[in-house]
Structures are given as C-alpha cells and as structure tokens.
Structure 1
Amino acid sequence: MLQELSIQNLALIENLTLNFKSGFTTLTGETGAGKSILLDALGLALGDRADSALVRFNTPRADVSAQFDISALPQVQNWLQENDLDDDDLCLLRRTVTVEGRSKAYINGRPAPANSLKELGNLLIDIHGQHEHQSLLSAQEQLHLLDAYAQHPQLLNAVREHYQHWQQLKRRLAQLQAEQSDFQSKLELLNFQKREFEEVQPKEGEFETLSEEQSQLSHANEIKQACELGYYALEGEQGATDQLQRAIHALEEIVEYSPALQSVIDQLNSALIDIQEAASETQHLAERIELDPQLLAQVDERLHNLFALAKKYHLEPEQLVSKHQQILADLANLEHSDIELENLQKQIEQAGSAYQQAAKALQDSRQQAGGKLSRIVTDGMQHLGMPNGHFEIQLGAAQAGALGIDKVEFMVSANKGQPLQPLAKVASGGELSRISLAIQVATSEVASLPTLIFDEVDVGIGGGIAEVVGKKMQQLGSRKQILSITHLAQVASHGHQHWKIEKQTVDDNTFTRVSELSENERVAELARMMGGLKVTEQTLNHAAEMLAEAQKTA
C-alpha cells in the first residue's frame, strides 16, 4: 500500500508530502490545478523516463520519494531480498532529476538503476489511464490474472512439473545424440587406449616396488662392498667387538675394588650384543646381494614402459591404474549408450504425452473461467457507461512452456458495430480506465496488486453511470487501496477520503497545494464540481445529500 508521496521542486510543487490511507481516495480540482503533476511525480518514483522539463524553475533538481507498506506483499519482499535491498516491512522508492537532465534512483536508500524501480513498481501499483504502468495490457499479466481468477494452482503446478521433467529428458537426449555424432571415433579411440593399457598392464603399487628394486640392483656392488667393510670393522681383527671385549675384561678384573663400575660393564655388554647383531645382519645382507645385470635390465625395461605410458597420457605413473579403469568404464558406457538412447526416447514420448494431458486440463479450466469472467466484465462495462460494450477472453495456441500451451488475450469492443480488438489497442484513456475498473472489480479477490490509480475514469460519462462508477470504486476500495482523479461529483462523493488539488499564487510565484477535505469542505468541493460558476444554497444542499447517500455504504 502507498503510504507517503514526498515531492520537492517538481513543476509547480515546491515542497509537498502526502500521507495516504487505505480504501478509496478521490482527488479533485479545477482544470490546470496540477492533478497530472501528482501522476508525473509518482511515475518518476516508479521508473518512468526522467524529463528535465519537470524540474521547478530556478531550482537545481527535483526529488520524489514514494513509501510503501509491503508487510502483506511476500512477492515484493522476496524481490527485495533477492536483490539485497530489503528493509523490514517498508519499501522506499526515490528519484532525483537535475535541471541538466541527469537522474538518480534509489531503493531503500541504496542506489539502483531506473529499470529496477520500474520492475519493482510493477509489483506495487497500477495506473489505469496511462499505458506506462498498465499491467493489464501485458499478455503475461492477462494470463496470470485469468489463472488467479480460475483458482487452479494444482493444475498449474502439474503442468510446470511435467514440463520440467520433459525438458530434462530432452536435454539428456540432446547430450547423448551429440555424443553419438562421433560415436565411432570415440569407440575406436577408447578401444585403442584399452589395448595400450592392456599391453602394459599397470598394477596397483607396482611402480613404487619396482623403483626400490631398481635402486638396489643398480647399486648392488657398492652395497655389497659397504656391507663387507662394515662387517670387518665390527667383527674383524681389532674391530669393534674385539675392542669392547677387551674393555669388558679389563673392568671385570677390578670391579671388586670399585663396584660402581658394574653399571659400566652392563652397558658395554648390552652394546656388545647390539653390535654383534648388527654385524650379523650386515653379513647376511652382503651374502644375499647378488650382481644380476639381467634382472636389472628387466626392471629398467618395465619402468621405462610405465613411464612412457604415463607421459603419453600426461599422468604420474601412480595414476595409470585409475586411468585404465576409467577407460574401461567409458567404453562400457559408450557401448551401452544405444540402449539408453532408445529408453530415453520412450521416456520423452511418455513425458510429452503426460505434459499435453496436464496442459489440456489447464486449458479446459482456463476456458471455463475465461467464459465466466468475460460475462462478468461485459456486464460491468455496460453498467459503467458502455451499454454496447463487450469483453471476451480469447485463448490462442502458444509454444509449450511451463505455463501451458495457451496464449491469453483480453479482447474488447466498447461501441456497437465495432469488432473485438485487443485491450492494448483501446484508444480512449477513459474507456480503458472503465474497462480496467470492470476487470479489477470482477477479479478483486484474486488480483495481486495492492494499489490502483484511475486517471479520468469518468471521461464521457455522467449522471447515473457516474454514480455506478463511484460505487464500483468504493466497492473495490474495501479490498484494495484505490486512488481516482475525477471531474465528477458523483464519483468523488463515494471516496472514503477526498483530496483537493489547487493552485495558489504568492509573491508572483505559483504553487500547487494538496489538502485533505473535511466533511464540510467536501460538500463545498462537490458543490463546485456540480454548480459551475456560481454555487447556490440549493447546490450545497444537493451536494450534502449526495455525499450522505454515497457514504451510507462506505
């Protein structure tokens, strides 16, 4: 709901803040008082093209802000959250325009492109009589409104789910067919790779084991010599064991005179055992090592084959086994893709059939709801000063999609003898407003937009028809926030609130002023609208009676 409109230095408005209420608010004033300026201001806040001509004379820029209560609008809340612009339950749209024509836009105090204002504004407000914000002219909105009126969310969900499943299968088929396009070349490549790996037959852990074996075989002579030298140093004449035994013997001869030496003797005996064991192990290792050039050549050749295969496939030798397994798996998948392709085509046929069945059920529901809504809107048009008006919702064929197979178009004929034509081609702003009013009243329970503005909905009507228009907007105001710029007292008298727009001149400067009228002021304004140049007592009495009668059902 629109809560506040703040305007600075726009055309004849110097500084103006309007606080709006729920229900039906009428705005009246003499011709040229500036009623269109309010719509221009609101249009700027909603992302309309910025025009420097709107900037008040002798001021650097115009500034417009529109504040909305969005506590009951989850769609708007989600949009703000998705764009990281949320601010509790309020939404503030702001626009500035300089005299040079530069424009800036803000959403909840943060800079935003003007098209974001327009996108968000389309979820907040609808201005009837100006095509810029006329959502009912959009084919998408017409389809959405019909679906909302039909109240068939289960059918919509079924169509969307069937469509998504159908498209998912078709994407998988396209992928397989693309792969099939060079099936033979892929098959030949994988079979060739398989043969290469089967020739080498890499084994898990083989490379590490062979690397250790190669190192030992290629240095066998050095290892043997080192082991023999080490053994001689430990067990040979004057070796470590011989020296330790002498030291132990010498200490044992005097230990009775110095018992503290016993711990030294024990340590030396322990060291002697360790050295003897190390010497034995060294001797055995030297005996086991053989100089085997033939075995070394075999290991070198095997490692060479592993390195060559790994290099060809840009791998580390340790990755050869997993690559071999991948080739075998890819080959199996490719060889079985024909079977999957056949199964997919059957699944796609079944999914397409299920989608068409769901879409046909949705289409039937739309046709039934469209016929009912067409009759109600036609009746509404005829009560709103178009006695020969006719409204018809036509369904045409559309490309299959998540919303079904239907294209919806609102068709109207406002006058006798005129053929039905799309709502978007209705030339008269007044006629378009009244048709829109009839549609909004018929769908008010399900329509999502919270605020509607009707501009000159009363053009070309009067008398009883004008009273019907007022009652319709009063009725709509019980469910939505309705603002109407009107020239007819019969319409203005039905407002829950009444604002007057007028021009004032102070010190040779002209200003537009807007004020909310009290009951007595409303009577005077209604009398002015009814009475022409001179307002008589009789006119005032008539205006008071009209207001009282209109407010009985308010």
Structure 2
Amino acid sequence: MLIALYIQDFGLIDSAEIEFSGGLNVLTGETGAGKSVILDALKASLGFRIQSDMIRTGRERAVVQSLFDINSLSGVLARLEEYGLQPDAADDLMLALSREINRQGRNICRINGRIVNLSVFREIGGLLADLHGQHDQQSLLQNDKQVLLLDGFGGYDLEVLVKETARTYREWQNNIKRKDDIIGGSRERQQRRDTIKYQLEEIEAAKLAGEDENQLNRRRNLLANAEKIGLLTEGILKKIHSGDGMSQAVVDLLGNSQTELEELVRYLPDTASIFENIQTALCLVEDAARELSSYRENIEMDPRELNYLEERLSQIERLKKKYGDTIEDIVQYRNSLAAELEQLDELDIDATGIEKLVETSQNSYFATANKMEKLREKVAERLKKEVEAELSELEMAGVQFDIGFFPGAPGPGGINKIEFMISPNPGEPLKPLAKIASGGELSRVMLALKSILAGNDDLATLVFDEVDAGIGGRTLRSVAEKLDKLALKKQVLCVTHSAVIAAYASTHYLIEKLVGDKKTTTTIKRLDDDERINELSRMLGGDSTSENLIEFVKKIRKKESGVRSQESE
C-alpha cells in the first residue's frame, strides 16, 4: 500500500508530501490545477519514463520519493531478496523508492537508500501499483492486452500452460532453423569446413605450442653475430687479463698496485681502505674475465642452426600476418577454428533425423497450444459471466460481453486470436470492443475487469485517472459504488471531476494552483469534513455561500456514508 509520496521541484510543485490512507483516496481540483502532475510524480517514483522538462522551471533537478508498506506483498519481497534489497524486518517491511532526475537526463534511483539501475527500479515499481488513465483504457482495445487480462484471470494452471506453449513454440522454431542450416547451407558449410581444415593444418604443422618467439630471436641474433662477439670478447680479455704483449693487462696492473699498497699501508695506515678497494676491484675484474672466457668458449659458428632459426621465425611471421599478432593469439585462433569445425560436424546429422525432430517439436507445440486454448475457453466463459455481472452493476445491464476465439497464425501466445466482444444494445450483434465501445463504456469495462481481477494479483494499489470521463447521471453513482467496493480489497487512488465519486472517498485531497510572486505553484491539501463539503459543493457548481447546495452535499455525504456502512456490515 502507498503510504506517502514526496515531491520536490517537479512540474509546478516546489515541495509537497502527501500521506495516503487505505480505502478510496480521491484527488480533485479545477482543470489545470495539477492533478495529473501528482500522478506523473507517482509514475516517476515507480520507474515510468519521464521527460526532463517536468523539472521545475529554474531548478536543475527534481526528486520524487514514494513509501510503500509491503508486508502483504510476497512477490515483491521475493524479488527484492533476489536483488539483495530486502528491507529490515525491524522497519515493518517498508519500501522506499527514490528517484532524482536532472536536466542532463541522468537518473539516480535508490531502493531503501541503495543505488540501483533504472531497469531494476522500474521492475520493482511495476510490482507495487497498477495505474490506469485514458491511455491505459485505450490499451484495452489491443489484443495482446486482452490476452494478458484473460490469462491473469485464469490463475496458476493457465499460467503454466501459457509458459509451456511459449517454450514449445521456441523449441519448434529453433529446430526449423537448424533444419534450414543443415539442408539449405550444406554447400557453404562444406566450403567453410575446407577453409578451416586448411588453416588448422597450417597452424598445427608449425607446432607452436610452448614456443617462445623472444627466445628464438635472442638465439638467432647470437648466431648471426657470433664472429663479432668472439672478436670483442677476445679483445676485452687481452686488455683486462691476458695482455697483448705490448702492454700489461688490467689484472697485472691491479696486482702490482696491490703489492705496493700493502707496503704503503705499513707507513700510512689510513690507506688501508684504498688497499681493500684495489683488492675488491682485482676480484671483480678476475670474475669478469672468467665470465667473458665462458662466453668466448661457448660461441660457435653454426650456419645450419642459424638457417633453421631464420626459417622458423619467418614461418611464425607469416602465421602472425594471417591469424594473430602473437603466438598466443594464433593458438587461440586455432582453438576457435577447432570449436567451429566441431559445430559444423554436429550440423551434419542425418536429414531424416532433423525432419523427425522438427515434426516431434511441432506436434508437442500444437498439443500444448490446443490444451491451453481449451482451458482459455473455459476461463473465458467464467470471465464473460463475471464481467456482465459487474457491468450490470455499472448501469450496463443490457450489455452483452463475450470473448471470441478466431483462428490465427501459430505463435508463442497460441494458435488463436482472442478478441473482446461487446453488444452495448439488446438485439445488436456482438462486435469487437475496439470498433464500437465509447470512452465511457471503455472506462466501465476496465473498471469491471479490475474489480474481478483484484484478488488475482499481489498489487495492493490501483490508480485511476478520470475513470468518470464520458459518463454521468446514475452511471456515475454506480461507478462510485464500484470504486468504493474495490477499495475494500485494494487501496484505490482516483483523480476525478465527479462530486459523486469524491463523496465516496475515505480520504479527499484538494489540488490547487496558486499564482503569486511572479510564479505559479501547485499545492496539495488533505481536506477535513467541512472542507470536503465546500469542495464537493464547488464540484457541483456552487461555492461556500450556496447554502442550499451545501445542504444537498451534506445529504449526499450522509447517504454515501450510510451505504458504505451497510455494505461493510
């Protein structure tokens, strides 16, 4: 149930907080006062699409927040738990939805204070309230909407068959596509197979698994420069270790210096550190000489190995140009080719086998669809009787209502086209609702359906925008009574211009537009009993000084209160 709605800088509203009650809540006011803005704000708080031009002029952002009591909404609680958003039981299972809209079109959505993406926000919001306006009544003319309403009335058994019909249809269509792939694409598939096999053979022949291209390059460079490396190491060794016959080597010079420094230390003890440095340097040079000698001894000229490395690296380079930037990429591409070849081989099953598979899945679909259609027809018969009974209470006693089943193209929703049919006048044939229903009739048919389906879903809040459009007289009284009766099962919010409907409300809100200080502002006020009488008087065309009309309104209020009291008993 909707507990409260907070609105800031939305439409003509600076700031407003509305606390709602159970039962029938009505919102009234002059045309253009901003009643629709309240519903737009509620829609925004539930995730409906909203334009940034709804932000208050001169403001950069708008904020809408709604608070719901979800104690009885098991479906909502289960969905919240799936997303890890379940409220704390200590908070009496209250659900707070908050949405901030800025002029750049960004939405910041929060559920119980946690930021979520708009799709999750919209999904949860859609489980909390059902909104019906003039546009929603027009949707009743659409076949897919009519099917949803019928299936919703059918309950769990029909829901299972609807899902199974959709599943078997998808399976049937997938098998048809697979058959087309097998039979129709055999030539292209064979060409692709040949290409894959050639590429696999080329890659596998290279035996790249475990190969290190950097290591190959280092070895190739070593062999290609072996002669130069040998000359360089030999020259360095002569300079630092063996000498060249014309000058002493570095180790000899350091050795002589070490001997002389050893003697010098006896006279200058402070030069001991210099002696140690020379000794360290001598050790380092000797280590370097040994390392260089090892390199020199291991360097060999091997033209055959060099030629192999050149060809190997050239082979890898050719493969890289075709299949990937690195050896790892080539190996990965090879794996993808193998997987694709396996899929192509799987497609090459016996054509008779796939034909049988298509036939089996087709038979399964039609068996399920026919079973579903039979149950739909039984459900439709029950719904027809209940709708006619509800319409009778809505001053449409002579109206015939039926649900027609007509052959249609097989699809995920079944094999028949479903059409709501109506005959508004006795003696007239049934015709599609879309062709002959007036706006007032559509409003009442929608109200009748919602009254019937009220116990079939978890939704605790129903919102009607001008359900009284196009109707008057005794019909208005019947619609008011129906809304009042519906409000015994659900919380109902209703925007109305009808004083009769407003008289039935358990809670009444007045929406007014005030002009002052060079700006226009919409305000919302919850009316007490005296204020309600004045507002009902205004709605009937009077004002606060019309004493006779005020007395008449008081009688209406007293009468409606008495009717509700009797019904509740």
User: Scaled by the length of structure 1, what TM-score is found?
Assistant: 0.62
Task: Identify if the C-alpha distance between structure 1 residues 2 and 191 changes in structure 2 by more than 3 Å, giving closer, same or farther.
Answer: closer
Superposition map of 1:91-130 within 5 A: 91-96=96-101, 102-108=104-110, 121-130=125-134
Q: Does 1:544 align with 2:567?
A: no
Q: Does 1:69 align with 2:68?
A: yes
The separation in 2 between residues aligned to 1:456 and 1:439, in whole angstroms, is: 17
Aligned equivalent of 2:455: 445
Aligned equivalent of 1:258: none
Residue identity matched to 2:562: A
Match of 1:155 among 161, 166, 171: 161
Shift of residue 9 of structure 1?
A: 3.6
Residue identity matched to 1:92: L
Task: Identify if the C-alpha distance between structure 1 residues 82 and 402 changes in structure 2 by more than 3 Å, giving closer, same or farther.
Answer: farther
Shift of residue 494 of structure 1?
A: 2.8
Look up the SS of the partner of 2:444 in the other structure.
helix
Aligned equivalent of 1:420: 431
Shift of residue 525 of structure 1?
A: 4.4
Aligned equivalent of 1:146: 150
Residue identity matched to 1:166: W
Residue identity matched to 2:56: V
The separation in 1 between residues aligned to 2:186 and 2:385, in whole angstroms, is: 55
The separation in 1 between residues aligned to 2:498 and 2:318, in whole angstroms, is: 89
Shift of residue 464 of structure 1?
A: 3.6
Aligned equivalent of 1:35: 35
Shift of residue 127 of structure 1?
A: 2.9
The separation in 2 between residues aligned to 1:76 and 1:409, in whole angstroms, is: 31
Shift of residue 134 of structure 1?
A: 7.0
| Coordinate RMSD, CA, aligned | 5.8
Summarize deviations over 1:122-169 as a string: whole Å, max 9, x none. 444333233169764664443222112122234234424433543454
Superposition map of 1:422-501 within 5 A: 422-423=433-434, 428=439, 430-447=440-457, 449-501=459-511
Summarize deviations over 1:326-377 as a string: whole Å, max 9, x none. xxxx999999977643223213212211210110111121123223323432
Aligned equivalent of 1:277: none
Task: Identify if the C-alpha distance between structure 1 residues 45 and 397 changes in structure 2 by more than 3 Å, giving closer, same or farther.
Answer: farther
The separation in 2 between residues aligned to 1:32 and 1:182, in whole angstroms, is: 66
Shift of residue 18 of structure 1?
A: 0.7
The separation in 2 between residues aligned to 1:436 and 1:331, in whole angstroms, is: 57
Superposition map of 1:337-352 within 5 A: 340-352=350-362
Look up the SS of the partner of 2:505 in the other structure.
coil
Identical counterparts, % of pairs = 31
How many residue pairs were aligned?
460
Q: Which runs of 5+ in 2 are unaligned?
A: 89-93, 206-315, 321-339
The separation in 2 between residues aligned to 1:423 and 1:331, in whole angstroms, is: 54
Aligned equivalent of 1:357: 367
The separation in 1 between residues aligned to 2:506 and 2:422, in whole angstroms, is: 31
Aligned equivalent of 1:50: 51
The separation in 2 between residues aligned to 1:489 and 1:341, in whole angstroms, is: 72
Task: Identify if the C-alpha distance between structure 1 residues 420 and 113 changes in structure 2 by more than 3 Å, giving closer, same or farther.
Answer: farther
Look up the SS of the partner of 1:405 in the other structure.
strand
Summarize deviations over 1:241-300 as a string: whole Å, max 9, x none. xxxxxxxxxxxxxxxxxxxxxxxxxxxxxxxxxxxxxxxxxxxxxxxxxxxxxxxxxxxx
The separation in 1 between residues aligned to 2:436 and 2:356, in whole angstroms, is: 46
Shift of residue 74 of structure 1?
A: 6.1
User: Scaled by the length of structure 2, what TM-score is found?
Assistant: 0.61
Summarize deviations over 1:378-417 as a string: whole Å, max 9, x none. 4433432445545443344555444333443445565787
Computing the radius of gyration over CA atoms, which structure comes out larger, 1 or 2?
1
Shift of residue 482 of structure 1?
A: 1.1
The separation in 2 between residues aligned to 1:354 and 1:19, in whole angstroms, is: 53
Aligned equivalent of 1:383: 393
The separation in 2 between residues aligned to 1:491 and 1:517, in whole angstroms, is: 15
Task: Identify if the C-alpha distance between structure 1 residues 545 and 395 changes in structure 2 by more than 3 Å, giving closer, same or farther.
Answer: same
Task: Identify if the C-alpha distance between structure 1 residues 352 and 96 changes in structure 2 by more than 3 Å, giving closer, same or farther.
Answer: same
The separation in 1 between residues aligned to 2:505 and 2:77, in whole angstroms, is: 30
Task: Identify if the C-alpha distance between structure 1 residues 73 and 21 changes in structure 2 by more than 3 Å, giving closer, same or farther.
Answer: same
Aligned equivalent of 2:245: none
Superposition map of 1:122-201 within 5 A: 122-131=126-135, 136=140, 139-151=143-155, 152-167=158-173, 169-170=175-176, 172-177=178-183, 180-181=186-187
Residue identity matched to 1:144: L
Residue identity matched to 1:500: L
Q: Which runs of 5+ in 1 are unaligned?
A: 201-309, 315-329
Aligned equivalent of 1:233: none
